[in-house]
Amino acid sequence: MGEKSFQLFPEAASSIAGQVDGLYAYLVLVSAFFSLLIAFLVVFFAIKYRRKNDEIPKPADEHSIGGMVLEIVWSIIPLGLSLIMFAWGASIFFTESRPPADAMEIFVVGKQWMWKVQHNEGAREINELHVPVNRNIRLTLTSEDVIHDFAVPAFRTKTDVLPGRYTTEWFRPTKVGAYHLFCMEYCGTKHSGMIGTVYVMNEADYNAWLGAGSGEGSMAEQGESLFNQLGCGTCHPSAMNKQNGRCPNLNGLFGTTVVLKDGSKVRADESYIRESVLYPQARIVAGYDDIMPTFKGLVTEDGLLKLVEYVKSLGPKNGTESSATAAPTQTSSSPQAPARPAGPARAGNQ
């Protein structure tokens, strides 16, 4: 962003941007080649074979030989070039879809027409996102009303932000600077005002910024107080309460596979926790009764994210799948520290 002058190409400020630009270059080359080829042939034929004024044309001869060969050639070549586009695009997409296990988590709630950002450490901001450079950042996003889309063109990434669900986006900023944040899914009157800025800072600046933040405690801590405030702990065994057997145990739950009453299985991820708070009877854990009341209308989306973070902090497993690749430093045995590389201690990036 920065300079407001005329540009023809966006800044590339994330680890994925270079790959996307490479694919773009390939696509532009292929497209330019075929567009120019067709344009040239069409114009060339139109001139070369134009009907002269006094000419009485003879019926053109049949295309006897070569027709079939040509048809096959001009089917196969585009197919081949297309499959490269598919494979290349899919590999980038796969990378974009799977956040690295060591990513630091940030939570985003979209609403008409603003972005609310909560950092794991407790800092909150609106229409701004501060992130450290060269760190993997994982966003968990949801919306309070309509569908939005969290897009940072300089990072070449975006994802829709849906109400009633969580979506995930990750990136690794590579250049310190300020970049546009756009809502890119039409969301109503002030859609074009639902913009913001992503500030990529170096480590020290980021820590300083984070330190100046609110003193409300980390997401998980806030989640814990909400958990107690709502009375969840009176039934669910958790960090403090280990005895009650009427409700499923939340310790070590996150990331595991839960067997339900009807025999089906579900992974205890962010969406499952969220649904269990709002629609507790939708998926009843095997061996338990449907006694939990709904908390729909009692908890905001922000609050839900905090509860999810709290449950997450009780579990040994990380939010991302592929626990095999998770760095061993992540499993913290310290009871008060959430099991993730949050917190101010930064060992750079592995």
Partner 1 sequence: MANHAGHAGPHVVPKRLYFAVFFALVVLTWVTTFVSTLDLGRWNIFVALAIAIFKASLVVLFFMHVWYSTRLTKMIVMASLFWLMLLLFLTMADIWTRTWMGVPGR
Partner 2 sequence: MITATPPVETKKNYLNQTEGLKSWLLTHDHKRIAILYLLGLIFFFAIGGVFAALIRLELATPAGDLVESNTYNKLFTMHGIIMVFLFLVPSIPAMLGNFLIPLMIGAKDVAFPRVNLLSWYIYVVGGLFVLVALLMGGVDTGWTFYTPFSSSYSNGYVVATGLGVLIGGFSSILTGLNFIVTIHRMRAPGLTWFRLPLFVWAHYATSMLQVLGTPVIAVTLFLLVLERGLHIGFFDPAYGGDPVLFQHMFWFYSHPAVYIMILPSMGVVTEIVTTFSWKKPFGYTFIAFSSIAIAVFGFIVWGHHLFVSGQSAYAGMVFSILSYVVAIPSAIKVFNWTATMYKGSVRATAPMLYALGFIGLFTIGGLTGLFLASLGMDVHLTDSYFVIAHFHYVMVGGAIMGFMGGIHLWWPKIFGRMYSEAWARVAAIIIFIGFNLTFFPQFILGYMGMPRRYHVYPPEFQVLNVLSSAGASILGLGYLIPVCYLVWSLKYGPVAPPNPWGATGLEWQTSSPPPTENFEVTPVVTQEAYTYTSEEVVHVG
Partner 3 sequence: MASHAADTHADPHVVSTIQHHFESADQQKDASTIGMWVFLVTEVMFFGGMFLAYFVYRQAYPAAFASASNNTSLLIGAANTTVLICSSLTMALAVRSAAVGKKNLIVLFLILTLLLGGTFLGVKAYEYHDKWVRHEVPGHNFDCRDESGKACIDAGHTPLFFALYFGMTGLHATHMIVGVGIILFLISQARKGAYGPAWHTPVELFGLYWHFVDIVWIFLFPLLYLIDRSAVPK
The one of partner 2, partner 1, partner 3, none whose footprint includes residue 242, by CB under 5 to 8 A per kind, is none
Nearer to partner 2, 60 or 345 (CB): 60
Nearer to partner 2, 45 or 214 (CB): 45
343: region left, alpha or beta (phi > 0 left; psi from -120 to 50 alpha): left
DSSP string, 209-237: HHHTS-SS--HHHHHHHHHHHTTGGGTS-
The encoded tokens of residue 172 equal 């690794």
Name the minimum Å distance from CB 349 to partner 1.
Answer: 20
Span from 38-46, 131-139, 218-226, 275-283 in contact with partner 3 (CB under 8 A): 275-283
Span from 40-48, 263-271, 285-293, 338-346 in contact with partner 1 (CB under 8 A): 263-271
Instruction: Give the separation between CA 166 and CA 142, rounded to whole angstroms.
Output: 5
- Torsions phi, psi for 55 (to 5 deg): -80, 135
Positive or negative, the CA dihedral 160, 322, 21, 129 is positive
Instruction: Give the separation between CA 158 and CA 312, rounded to whole angstroms.
Output: 25
The one of partner 1, partner 2, partner 3, none whose footprint includes residue 263, by CB under 5 to 8 A per kind, is partner 1
The helix (run of H) or strand (run of E) holding residue 17 is: helix 17-48
Instruction: Give the separation between CA 138 and CA 175, rounded to whole angstroms.
Output: 17
Where in 17-56 is the site for partner 2 (CB under 8 A)? 19-20, 23-24, 27, 30-31, 34-35, 38-39, 41-43, 45-46, 49-51, 55-56
Span from 112-120, 236-244, 289-297, 309-317 in contact with partner 3 (CB under 8 A): 289-297
* Number of residues binding to partner 2, judged by CB under 8 A: 91
Task: Select the residue interacting with partner 2 from 116, 124, 175, 180 (CB under 8 A).
Answer: 180
The one of partner 3, partner 2, partner 1, none whose footprint includes residue 320, by CB under 5 to 8 A per kind, is partner 1
Residue 316's closest CA among 252, 223, 249? 252
Map residues 157-176 to x or -, x wherever contact with partner 1 holds by CB under 8 A.
--xx-x--xxxx--------
The answer to whether 136 contacts partner 1 (rule: CB under 8 A) is: no
Where in 321-350 is the site for partner 1 (CB under 8 A)? 321-322
Instruction: Give the separation between CA 204 and CA 176, rounded to whole angstroms.
Output: 12
The answer to whether 261 contacts partner 2 (rule: CB under 8 A) is: no
Name the minimum Å distance from CB 176 to partner 2.
Answer: 19
Residue 135's closest CA among 219, 213, 207, 222? 207
Instruction: Give the separation between CA 218 and CA 214, rounded to whole angstroms.
Output: 10
- In terms of Cβ atoms closer than 10 Å to its own Cβ (0-12, 13-18, 19+), residue 132 is buried
The answer to whether 281 contacts partner 3 (rule: CB under 8 A) is: yes
The answer to whether 294 contacts partner 3 (rule: CB under 8 A) is: yes
Where in 193-212 is the site for partner 2 (CB under 8 A)? 193, 195
The answer to whether 279 contacts partner 3 (rule: CB under 8 A) is: yes
Name the minimum Å distance from CB 167 to partner 1.
Answer: 3
Instruction: Give the separation between CA 118 and CA 216, rounded to whole angstroms.
Output: 11
Binding site for partner 3 (CB under 8 A): 261-262, 264, 278-279, 281-284, 290, 294, 296
